[in-house]
């Protein structure tokens, strides 16, 4: 089995598509009512932080 490498952009696209699919199924912020946009923004900030953690790990260990 050959090892496949992905670029940083491909990692970003994978994470974004996963988040979009999850958001469509789980309806984020449904309990927040009119403040749902605030819940979505907090989720976005958390997702960006997780992306940069993954990206930094990707840059530190490019062979894995």
pLDDT in tens, 8-58: 788 788 877 887 776 666 665 567 677 777 777 787 788 888 888 988 888
DSSP helix/strand/coil, 61: coil
- Both structure tokens of 63: 């062979």
Distance, CA of 52 to chain centre: 9
pLDDT band at 1 (very low <50, low <70, confident <90, very high): low
| pLDDT for residue 29 | 59
Domain ranges of the chain: 8-60
For 57, residues 6+ apart whose C-beta sits below 8 A from its C-beta are: none
pLDDT band at 61 (very low <50, low <70, confident <90, very high): confident
| pLDDT for residue 25 | 62
DSSP 8-state assignment for residue 29:
T
């Amino acid at each position: 089995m050959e090892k496949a490498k992905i670029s940083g952009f491909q990692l970003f696209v994978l994470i974004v598509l996963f988040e979009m699919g999850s958001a469509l199924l789980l309806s984020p912020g449904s309990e927040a009512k009119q403040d749902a946009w605030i819940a979505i923004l907090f989720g976005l900030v958390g997702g960006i932080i997780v992306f940069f953690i993954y990206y930094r790990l990707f840059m530190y260990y490019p062979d894995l």
